[in-house]
A and B are shown apart, each in its own frame.
Chain A
């Protein structure tokens, strides 16, 4: 049996918002150590990976591993019906065909229970090896969101170049070109670790979608390495993360 309680529905709302633009159906795997989810988008260009350790929850119990096939649009509708301040408890039996979501208001005067039908999903899981990234950049997540938004006005393709001097985002299109450079700051809000310089091209549409996770974390980590997908990571309250992987564009 699974029983997992979050103190605030707001966190679940943010997580669902960060997932639902990339994937519509996905399996949430629950075990005694927490919850994991991994799915590629329909066009196999990006992958999202969610991890919530038990520390994310006020209460967590999972006696036996259980996989919950979720329709994220349906889950989104349910969490929208709750107030962000409500607590939410997710419950499922060992061989569940439905997920129970119980919301309780702050003063416990209002409770709302929803049953969500679960799906049997046959999804590929990919083994992502530990990667020694050539460049790791950390910056305010709002800054990254702003850059991705601004770049997408100019081109579908965003070129990211990273050197010891800084990280540069470039887009070139019919309108003209855009270049935004960020250097490391002494106060530490932008850090840039470079083992070797790198330049790669990515689909701006996907980068923009990743920034739906901005409300989850003040900071974002961007990791690049030759010949491997880009990693964009948002941490979740010290006990979890949402990671997006994006295959680079390559010259024919």
Chain B
């Protein structure tokens, strides 16, 4: 099974 990425890693926190 592939791993699930954390979505927050793709975007900057405002």
Contact = CB atoms under 8 A, between A and B. Distances in A.
A40 B8 contact: yes
A45 B13 contact: no
B13 A248 contact: no
Most chain A CB within a 10 A radius of its CB, from B5, B6, B13: B5
Interface residues of B, number: 14
Contacts of A156: 1
B5 to A, nearest CB: 4
A45 B12 contact: no
A247 B7 contact: yes
B12 to A, nearest CB: 5
Interface residues of A, number: 25
Contacts of B2: 157, 201, 249-252
Nearest to B8: A44
Contacts of B10: 228-229, 247
A21 B4 CA distance: 19
A106 to B, nearest CB: 42
A126 B10 CA distance: 9
Contact of A250 (B5, B8, B13, B14): B5
A249 B8 contact: no
A44 B13 CA distance: 13
B6 A45 contact: yes
A249 to B, nearest CB: 4
Contacts of A126: 7-8, 11-14
Interface of B: 1-14
A-B CB proximity, top 4 nearest: A249-B2, A126-B11, A247-B5, A247-B7
Interface of A: 40, 44-47, 124-129, 156-157, 201, 203, 228-229, 245-252
